[in-house]
Amino acid sequence: EKSGYKHFMLKEINEQPRAIRDTTLGRVSLDTGKVHLPEMQFSEADFRNASQITIAACGTSWHAGLAGKFMIERLARLPVEVDYASEYRYRDPIADPRAIGLLITQSGETADTLAAQAELAAKGSKTLAICNVVGAAITRKAQGTLTTNAGPEIGVASTKAFTAQLTALFVLALHLAQVRGTISDEESLHLVTELSKLPTKLASLLNINSPDAPGSSEGVAAPIRPSTPDRRSTTRQPLSVQCEELARLFHTADDFLFLGRGIHYPIALEGALKLKEISYIHAEGYPAGEMKHGPNALIDESLPVVCIATKDPNDPSSVLKYEKTLSNIQEVTARSGRVIAIAIEGDTEISQLVEQTIYIPQAPELLLPILEVVPLQLLAYHIAVRRGCDVDQPRNLAKSVTVE
């Protein structure tokens, strides 16, 4: 069942190229850039006239929702609120029948998310589900479902379901933008083309065969390239080798910080959650710019700080964010914090500044999260393995949380 992998989590991390491809296929046209959603009880007018989107979800799915906010607001110019599903009904949310409720859940059975759906429905909003399990409870009450085709996820720590959720959110954001006329045909085509390149980029990052390669046999490891000890090198060693080495160096740490800015901040939160839940190391995700408002006081020579410092050079706001994040990194290194940077292949500026750099392939800003979370998953995995933890069944946790 584990197809030769030691744990389901590792198998599922390696299934991400296929999960992304299967969540994209049949929904986008590579000729026109148009997005086609499955049949649902939402008309184009519902999407065009929506006043806002209210996202409710828990855990990793909530992180996907936070990233989805950036995608939908940026592409479709529609305001998005993101709530913890477990909090939603306790704040007497403001009723708006033109608001669309968007529930994100791998299992479709999470009690808190079902309760948020009931609250949204009671307030008169239609609900849309992004769910990985066909026929799950949430989909039976929703007016529409966008299925993430990640396949069954067994490991308690969500991996492929998360990147599939990000993919579904990107597809939804594009569709909303097209219906609302906030995106040009040219930009749509460009983004759809870039989306279609992700499975191959993920496969190369994971050193496995691409699901799109002719005659490929999924998940089969490609030959490991020799490692390059030069820290200024702009190419990368195989990611698993790098993450194993990082695990060797950092598995005894008591705390970890994960920093990101903009759409990369939810990925920092996700990196911290992965580490917490499977290795039992205390970790926090923080917006990079907030460090100087308090958490800088935590930094010392024993604190590993994972900084997401990627950029899309064709996107001025992404470049600005990157520049600011570089200054934040300098603030950490000046206080002897040990920085592990996630950066874009070819970025020599960053590797001069920090102790460790993990490179990922280039992609447009809104798609980078799908690539940058992969090293964070593998880092958590290898640290947990080194600490002798039960990776697939962490203590005190269940795959599906069916009580509020």
Q: How many CB atoms lie within 10 A of CB 252?
A: 11
Asked if residues 169 and 72 have their Cβ atoms less than 8 Å apart, the reply is: yes
How near is the Cβ of 381 to ligand M6R at its closest, in Å? 12
| Closest distance of CB 312 from ligand M6R, Å | 27
Calpha distance 184→369 (Å, rounded): 23
83 vs 277, which CB is nearer to ligand M6R? 277
Query: Which positions lie near ligand M6R, rule CB under 6 A?
Result: 58-61, 105-107, 110, 113, 156-158, 273, 277, 400-401
Nearer to ligand M6R, 303 or 379 (CB): 379
* CB neighbour class for 365 (10 Å; exposed up to 12, middle 13-18, buried from 19): buried
126 has catalytic annotation: no
| Cβ proximity to ligand M6R, 171 vs 329, nearer residue | 171
* Minimum separation from the CB atom of position 149 to ligand M6R (A): 15
Give the residue at shortest CB distance from ligand M6R.
Answer: 59
Q: Of 105 and 310, which has the nearer Cβ to ligand M6R?
A: 105
Q: Which is nearer to ligand M6R, 165 or 318 (CB)?
A: 165
Which tokens in the block code for residue 89?
Answer: 């009904």
- Beta partners for 221? 208
Paired with 147 in beta bridges are 131
Is the Cβ–Cβ distance between 178 and 23 less than 8 Å? no
**Selection from 72, 79, 101 nearest residue 89 by Cα:** 101
Contact 13, 374 (CB under 8 A): yes
**How far is CA 97 from each of CA 25, 125, 295, rounded to the nearest angstrom?**
32, 5, 40
Residue 244 in tokens: 């194993």
Q: How far is the CB of 306 from ligand M6R (least distance, A)?
A: 17
Residue tagged active-site, from 34, 197, 324, 399: 399
CB of 8 to ligand M6R, least distance (A): 12
- Residue 209 tokens, joined: 């065969």
List the catalytic residues: 399
